[in-house]
């Protein structure tokens, strides 16, 4: 039975900061249309996102930071959140060598992408990277039951296992976040390779991955070695 390779998207295949910068600019434009200082909102949102993109409420905090009274948030936030979620990045450049490495993996093993987030946003990101044709199986955890089934909840990886027709322990996850990508692999008995890059590059190795590398191509090389070793028995 072959080994299936499951790759994360954000900060694994491309730098998520590029997407966030593009989306923050779109929110700045929308803020300008709403009568606010768009440049100031853009700057405040970028600094909120840099402090932690995964926390929620970043647009609320950016508006408060530029002096918007709390009583005005209820009216201003929904259209700005809509501007953020509707934003389609024109182009997201993959990490150096990531496209070639993904192509090599696609040729050697069943391959899938497992990612958390708003499904429309994640689909727009995949399209903007140009990597879509190499990723015929993409599972966005939120489509399986909302935010509560985001990694490290096992639902997404189990769905990948079903889609690929492989048992979970025959999967190898490649991703940047120990608490999500490595942990979801551990939750189903799969292996994981951590790639130290992006927002969580300095996070501790907890839980411990099967291997830790600095680039996606290095992870792909290890994955290809493992695929070959298992194929040889």
- Contacts with Mg ion by CB under 5 A lie at 8, 10-11, 176
The sheet carrying 138-140 orders its strands as: 138-140, 111-115, 4-7, 171-175, 191-195, 211-213
Between 13 and 159, name the residue whose CB sits nearer to Mg ion: 13
Closest CA to 182 of 161, 160, 203: 203
Q: Is 206 left (phi over 0), alpha (psi -120 to 50) or beta?
A: beta
- C-beta of 83 vs 186, nearer to Mg ion: 186
CB of 37 vs Mg ion, minimal distance in Å? 32
User: How far apart are CB 164 and Mg ion at their closest, in Å?
Assistant: 20
Going by C-alpha positions, the residue among 122, 52, 42 that lies closest to residue 87 is 122
In the complex, least distance from residue 40 CB atom to Mg ion, rounded to whole angstroms: 30
Q: How far is the CB of 177 from Mg ion (least distance, A)?
A: 5
* Nearest residue (CB) to Mg ion, 164 versus 174: 174
Report residue 181 CA to chain centroid gap: 10
**Of the two residues 11 and 48, which places its CB atom closer to Mg ion in the complex?**
11
Kindly state the smallest distance separating residue 229's Cβ from Mg ion, in Å.
26
CB count in 10 Å sphere of residue 54: 15
- Classify residue 75 as left (phi > 0), alpha (psi -120 to 50) or beta: alpha
Smaller CB separation from Mg ion, 83 or 159: 159
């Amino acid at each position: 039975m072959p080994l299936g390779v499951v790759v994360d998207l954000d900060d694994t295949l491309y730098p998520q900061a590029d997407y966030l910068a593009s989306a923050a600019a779109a929110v700045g434009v929308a803020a300008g249309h709403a009568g606010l200082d768009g440049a100031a909102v853009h700057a405040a949102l970028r600094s909120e996102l840099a402090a932690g993109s995964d926390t929620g409420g970043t647009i609320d905090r950016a508006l408060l930071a530029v002096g918007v009274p709390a009583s005005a948030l209820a009216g201003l936030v929904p259209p700005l959140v809509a501007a953020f979620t509707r934003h389609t990045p024109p182009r997201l450049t993959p990490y150096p060598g990531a496209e070639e490495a993904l192509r090599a993996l696609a040729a050697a093993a069943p391959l899938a992408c497992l990612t958390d987030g708003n499904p429309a946003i994640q689909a727009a990101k995949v399209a903007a990277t140009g990597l879509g044709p190499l990723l015929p199986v993409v599972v966005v955890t939120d489509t399986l039951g909302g935010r509560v089934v985001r990694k490290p909840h096992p639902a997404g990886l189990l769905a990948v296992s079903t889609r690929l027709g492989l048992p979970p322990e025959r999967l190898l996850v490649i991703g940047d976040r120990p608490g999500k990508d490595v942990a979801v692999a551990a939750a189903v008995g799969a292996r994981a390779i951590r790639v130290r890059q992006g927002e969580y590059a300095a996070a501790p190795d907890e839980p411990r991955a099967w291997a830790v590398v600095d680039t996606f191509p290095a992870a792909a090389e290890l994955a290809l070695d493992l695929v070959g070793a298992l194929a040889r028995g």
